[in-house]
Amino acid sequence: MHFAMTDEQRMIVDTTRAFVEAELYPHEALVERTGHLPMELIREIQAKAMAAGLYAANMPEEVGGAGLDTLSWLLYERELGRANYALHWTCVARPSNILLAGTKAQREKYLFPCLRGETWDCLAMTEPGAGSDLRGMQANARQDGGDWVLNGTKHFISHADIAGFTIAFMATGEEDTPRGPKKKITAFFVDKGTPGFTVREGYRNVSHRGYSNAILDFDDCRVPAENILGEIHKGFEVANDWLGATRLQVAATCLGRADRALDHAVHYAAERRQFGQQIGKFQGVSFKLADMAMELKAAELLTWEAGWKFDQGSVTEADMAMAKLKASEVLAMVADEAIQIHGGMGLMDDLPLERIWRDARVERIWEGTSEIQRHIISRQLLRPHEG
């Protein structure tokens, strides 16, 4: 078993970190202060990311991406995760892998414009009454001749304001199961500007300022059958096949922010003097640093192992749930302890710590709450013992 990075992976890490520090860090204060990411800034950084070969690096080579294996991609995501989320997600965009599930015509219409940086995609699953329980969604689609008519509301839809289209998951029927009726779900491409499709401003969020969310309304929104992604009633299947690694992506970006917070804490503990010595020499501080480093290492190992297993075809849902759960909870702990070590200065916006602390809170909620991750892990443990 080898733990060292390859030369290629080291180059990916070094290149991405240098880009983040030079091109993203300088704009964090603006985004944090205004809560807005100007389109001209997006285009400026986007062009630099493309020139550096960092744009759409999650995509396979056959469609113009970097063709990274999962572990290399996660190392890349960790470095991007060190910066303000709006900056790295919007300006160094990674189109959703689910776009690869499209037909040739759908790839031409939706995937390739995203790869060229001409537009962005967004996914619409969550509803006001259906968050973790996606099977409880009320938004629906009914067939009408050769078209489908969509009705309902989605919310918490990330960057839908700039996306040129959405992939909307809609209830399209119901089937009987041993546990009772279960909704059938279908995924649809819906272009912005389609009659009956409205994008409304979302909620002000304490986490990830500048990274917008929106409310999507579908009011007798008519789309052709050719806009179905995958098969009718197979929306969850296509999501599971193509979105499986998103929890690992969340884990990796959490690691990046936790590493940045730990770096600040270590440097401050080494430089700050109280009672005639460096504060890092007091056990009350040094033991915090030790615990932060140990927990971060544990989260990294869980994440890297899950990424490696993903490429081997042996990863389980529990592997990815453990990585996401551990990394998101470690980020919260590291951010909080980093602020404690800095004292009052840690809460000032001169440093990125208060932002990292605020941003950490949402990571235990989106892409599956911590409770959902624990359910997935425990379900795998108990499944062999079911009657």
Known catalytic residues are: 367
Q: How far apart are CA 198 and CA 194, in angstroms?
A: 8
Record the tokens describing residue 64, joined without a space. 């113009």
* Number of other CB atoms surrounding residue 221 within 10 Å: 23
Other C-beta atoms closer than 10 Å to the C-beta of 147 total: 16
Cα distance between residue 334 and residue 293, in whole Å? 9
Chain centroid, CA 240 distance in Å? 15
Q: What's the rounded Cα separation, in Å, for the pair 289 and 263?
A: 10
Instruction: Find the DSSP H helices in the chain.
Output: 7-19, 28-34, 39-51, 70-80, 85-91, 104-106, 112-115, 235-242, 246-271, 283-312, 317-342, 353-363, 370-382
- Cβ(230)–Cβ(101) below 8 Å: yes
The answer to whether 56 and 77 are in contact (CB under 8 A) is: no
Q: What's the burial of 39, exposed, middle or buried (CB within 10 Å: 0-12/13-18/19+)?
A: exposed
Give the DSSP H/E element, type plus range, for residue 123.
strand 121-124
